């Protein structure tokens, strides 16, 4: 069931989203060769607590951390680790903030120092792909319009779109209906309505879209070991452009 959010709920989610965006801005300043994703994890835990918020991912389906930290070939759900990031790495930090019961979800890929042209292009195209999806996320359009906008652009740039993980509705809990595919056909799927709150979070790979799962059951990697990037916003559907709740 896809729920329509009240103005009060949307306001709470927006406050969570602003805090999440501020957290990402702080992370952006921290990312450099030598830092570990464990230090980012500890920073996020502390920063959210200082601002009266909690990390919704911690404890979710047994996940242990506030953040997901996915380096290079990791598509998503990597664990924060006490391993230093190196010049040329790319790292996606994903988190869900709960502030007074309002939730917001946003992931961002960061370059560590100077990265290869290929890595930079993957990051740029993935971010653009998110905004291609956002452009068509409006009342009256369908979910397939979002997927198609992302897929046609990404594949035109010779990158592949991950199929195993999707965007989603979000509200009282992190994952609600609908499932938001990052590929699809225009005019297909559920119709978007004013007041729905969804995430769009394309993961693009430099090589194949297929993934392989680590033994830990969480860490999803590209099957061919090539790079993966991801950008995610939480947004409210309106009759016009959506309201991005996690804008940085």
Query: Could you list the residues that contact ligand MF3 (CB under 6 A)?
Result: 57, 60-61, 63, 68, 77, 94, 96, 105, 107, 199, 201, 232
Least distance in angstroms from the C-beta of 32 to Co ion: 26
Report how far residue 25's alpha carbon sits from residue 119's, in angstroms, rounded to the nearest whole number: 21
- Taking the least distance from each CB to ligand MF3, the nearer of 43 and 63 is 63
Shortest reach from residue 4's CB to ligand MF3, in Å: 21
Q: HSE-up of 22 (CA within 13 Å, CB side)?
A: 12
Whose Cβ is closer to Co ion: residue 115's or residue 170's?
170
CA distances from 213 to 78, 156, 201 (A): 10, 27, 19
Q: Measured between alpha carbons, how far is 244 from 138 in angstroms, rounded to an integer?
A: 12
Taking each helix axis from N to C terminus, what angle separates 143-156 and 117-135, rounded to the nearest 10 degrees? Answer: 160
At its nearest, how many Å lie between ligand MF3 and the CB of residue 174? 6
How far, CA to CA in Å, does 231 sit from each of 55, 59, 184, 235, 248? 19, 23, 18, 13, 12
At residue 66's C-alpha, the angle toward residues 6 and 15, to 5°, is 30
The option from ligand MF3, Co ion, none interacting with 57 (CB < 5 to 8 A, set by class) reads: ligand MF3
Query: Residue 129: which of ligand MF3, Co ion, none does it interact with, CB under 5 to 8 A by kind?
Result: none
Position among 160, 199, 205, 228 found at the interface with Co ion (CB under 5 A): 199
- Residues 85-114, interacting with Co ion (CB under 5 A): 105
Cis ω for the linkage preceding 207 (within 30 of 0): no
Cα 162 from Cα 14, distance rounded (Å): 28
Question: Which partner, ligand MF3, Co ion, none, binds residue 38 by CB below 5 to 8 Å per kind?
Answer: none
| Least distance (Å) between residue 48 CB and ligand MF3 | 14
d(CA 5, CA 225): 40
The answer to whether the annotation marks 105 as part of a ligand binding site is yes
Give the chain's end-to-end CA distance (angstroms, integer). Answer: 30
Query: By CB under 5 A, is residue 176 in contact with Co ion?
Result: no
14 is in an annotated binding site: no
* Residue 169 or 189 with smaller CB distance to Co ion: 169
Contact residues for Co ion, defined by CB under 5 A: 105, 199, 201
Residue positions forming the annotated binding site: 77, 94, 105, 168, 175, 201, 232
Residue positions forming the annotated binding site for a divalent metal cation: 94, 105, 168, 201, 232
């Amino acid at each position: 069931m896809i729920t329509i959010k009240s103005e009060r709920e949307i306001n709470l989610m927006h406050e969570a989203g602003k805090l999440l965006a501020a957290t990402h801005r702080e992370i952006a300043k921290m990312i450099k060769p030598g830092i570990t994703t464990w230090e980012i994890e500890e920073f996020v835990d502390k920063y959210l607590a200082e601002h009266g918020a909690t990390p919704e991912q911690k404890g979710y389906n047994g996940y242990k951390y506030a953040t997901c930290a996915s380096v290079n070939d990791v598509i998503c759900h990597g664990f924060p680790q006490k391993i230093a990031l190196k010049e040329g790495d790319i790292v996606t930090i994903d988190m869900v903030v709960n502030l007074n019961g309002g939730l917001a979800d946003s992931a961002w890929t960061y370059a560590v120092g100077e990265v290869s042209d290929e890595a930079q292009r993957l990051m740029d195209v993935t971010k653009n792909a998110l905004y291609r999806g956002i452009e068509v996320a409006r009342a009256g359009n369908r979910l397939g319009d979002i997927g198609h906008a992302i897929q046609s652009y990404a594949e035109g740039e010779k990158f592949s779109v991950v199929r195993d993980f999707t965007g989603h509705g979000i509200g009282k809990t992190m994952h609600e209906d609908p499932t938001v595919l990052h590929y699809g056909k225009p005019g297909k799927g559920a119709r978007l309505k004013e007041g729905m709150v969804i995430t769009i979070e394309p993961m693009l790979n430099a090589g194949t879209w297929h993934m392989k799962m680590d033994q830990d059951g969480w860490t999803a990697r590209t099957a061919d070991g090539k790079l993966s990037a991801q950008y995610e916003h939480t947004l409210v559907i309106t009759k016009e452009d959506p309201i991005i709740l996690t804008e940085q």
